[in-house]
Amino acid sequence: MSIACVARELGGEGPVILVLHGLLGSSRNWQSAGVALAEKGYRVVALDLRNHGSSPWAEDCSYPAMAEDVEVFLDQQKWGPVHLLGHSMGGKVAMRVAVERPDLVSRLTVVDIAPRAYSDRVREEFRAMNALDLTQIKSRKDADALLTPLVSDWGMRQFILTNLNQSPEGQWRWMVNREALTRSLPQILGECLSLEEKFLGPTRFIRGGKSNYIRDEDFPLLQKHFPQTDWVTLSESGHNPHFEARAGFVDAVLA
């Protein structure tokens, strides 16, 4: 069963670009990049996917379920086909939407992810989140200190901590459905398309030159599923080009 995802207007008027965030992200992560895209003459809207941000929680974290949420949202908006942009996990959701409902997608942009299975690298972050005793936290600084022995990378710790907030009673809690996402990691890290599925519309893959999420050997797979595809490499960026190379990223999305 689909759920009603929460949408965030990031500004602008004109043709719609709908943004889908990555695992443990939310629409808030796209505020700056969304504004930059909106300044180029587009209306930019970002969704909180199920179990993330302000959207409802559900046990099913599969790509078909997340894609259905997006499809129902677009059907309700009656915008017609939109430019669908997805990053990482959101890129896999976007690919599923495109092959299932090509009538909803005028153009597909996938950011630093391929439709293949990935290793369990992100389990480190989930192990850290699951090990964090929220009853011991009095401030975000406390949470950062407790995470430091578990996640050495400062940037990754800050990203994890964007999912932590306080209830009106002052209790710290996760904004993501940590338990369901942990159980669903094999699905989330797995393939998102079947062998014969294709999207025949214009498609662009954007990859970070310092990232290994899209490798040169992935290109035949991208062309198999997306015959009208091309790709752009932002050499100075890692896995998050909308943060790390924003100007080049905006140009790559709109070119």
Task: Tell me which residues are annotated as active site.
Answer: 88, 179, 239
Instruction: Give the strand pairing for 105-111 and 82-87.
Output: parallel
Sheet hosting strand 229-234, strand order edge to edge: 6-11, 43-48, 16-20, 82-87, 105-111, 203-208, 229-234
Residue 98 CB contacts under 8 Å (≥ 6 apart), including other chains: 84, 105, 108, 199, 201, 203
User: What's the residue count for the chain?
Assistant: 255
> What letter represents residue 51's amino acid?
N
Q: How far apart are CA 217 and CA 197, in angstroms?
A: 19
